[in-house]
Structure 1
Amino acid sequence: MTGMAPLSETPLLREVLRHAEALLREACVDTPELDARILMGASLGMTREHMLIHATARLNQAQVGRVLGFIARRVDREPVSRILGRREFWSLDFHLSPATLDPRPDSETLIDEALAGIPDRKAPLTVLDLGTGTGCLLLALLSELPNAAGTGIDRSEEAVATATANARRLGFGQRARFAVGDWGDGLSERFDLVISNPPYIPEAEIETLAPEVVRFDPVAALAGGPDGLNAYRTIVTQLPNLLKSKGKVIFEVGAGQAADVARLLVTAGFSGIGTRCDLGRVERAVFGHLSG
């Protein structure tokens, strides 16, 4: 590392924080100050307020080692959420595993769209989440729909185990079940709502993604085939056997894919097709209703 003074044997907390920030800045991490503060707090078991109050406290070598161990992982571009093993989504705390995507704020667009289309949130609705990962989409919906129940499907046994554990820890274990499956294949139940964030990255583009994504998210949850649309084609053919009459499907899509996914729904006979943009004004959700 260039131009960086070494730490003393028992440095002040604020000195370690500045050192951590400098390491992350040199590694071209986007938010070095924020990441350093979060990782330092987590490694020391301290809140931001505690760190401010104890800025002049001296840290021992074990404490410094824990901080710098987390920082070294971030320098290697491991996401903060992966280092901590958890991510907040829809104000809920989700544990991650190597088999699950790291939930993104953009995916909350699907929750917004789902809730906007439900006139009575106390109705006993049924929800199917295809490619459930951490279970974040299904469990976020259940947190807003007190009488709803749902099923989450994923091809990965590890993802299913992670989602099941998240449901129990968040208090939704009685209303959510998770199972290993190939999208909706073999399901006999029909649902009021199907929601899905399937793999949608064209395979040739995966290596161009940020290292935090390409090196730490599971490739199976990213790769959507040559044009990124393979999963949508499969799911759309299954939807008539998964949705109740006039039931709704909501897909997350990648930038520039909304028109193609909407076209798939039109071809399959869906009606009321529309899109919803995320906070970056990207068409992130595509939805439609199974014609009655």
Structure 2
Amino acid sequence: MSSTLSPKSNVSFESGQVSEVSSSGFLGEFVQETLALTRRLFIQLQRRPSTLIAGVIQPLIWLILFGALFQNAPKGLFGENTNYGQFLAAGVIVFTAFSGALNAGLPVMFDREFGFLNRLLVAPLASRYSIVFASAIFIITLSAVQTIAIIATSAFLGAGLPDILGLSVIATIILLLVLGVTALSLGLAFALPGHIELIAVIFVTNLPLLFASTALAPLSFMPKWLQVISSLNPLSFAIEPIRYLYLHSNWSLGSVVMQAPWGNVSLGGTLLVLLLLDVAAFLSIQPLLRRRFA
């Protein structure tokens, strides 16, 4: 009896060990695939460095030219003891990160059209979601480089610099914004028929969201109907807390960062809204990704 039970116990032990090894093996393969696909994107960037150079220079030009354009604006228009450079820095940071994340689906769309994505989908990948994670890592890295360049330039131009904790909150805000917009852009890359349609969506979305936000002007400067739209714009929920961190050294999660027509919005409230938007974006693209990956 013992001789017949012994092999069974060994088998059950070995199967448990195999399942544990396979679980750790899946995670290792997933990380390896994600890093390989991310490296491919950076190799493409290395071969076309003009993309990164233009992505850094363009927001700096915005910062310098718009700052000079409104340099002689009436005092008090942008707040007490606040110049337009300090006011504009937050808007340029957020809009640059938003634009980069909105373009996240273009590499995937070109891979679709050139047939490379089909090769990935039929390859023995541990998880096809490594394609999505690689694109997210790539866009987050580019957004970090652009944000650092804008913060450094705005500080050089006299906009000041938040403390370490403030900078970490700014990084968190940008991360939340980039994740949500990147998810939506990747969803569009799998849903739309081609890159022409995706570029059209990007053009139609980009500038209206910019001008319907508080990036270039305060809420008090807008007509009532635009104040309502701007206060509901997700970009404003990223711009206003960053602007508050630039202008106030003493802040907390309960600090009111935006006085919207429908009520006051706190710093913690903006973070919560951005987080909920990320969750909604990820949940909305899940069914589409499952169908495409299948």
Give the shorter-chain TM-score range: under 0.3
User: Which protein, 1 or 2, shows the higher relative CO under an 8 Å CA cutoff with sep ≥ 6?
Assistant: 2
Could you say which structure has the higher helix fraction? 2
Could you say which structure has the higher strand fraction? 1
- Which protein shows a greater Rg? 2
**TM-score using structure 1 length:** 0.24
**TM-score using structure 2 length:** 0.24
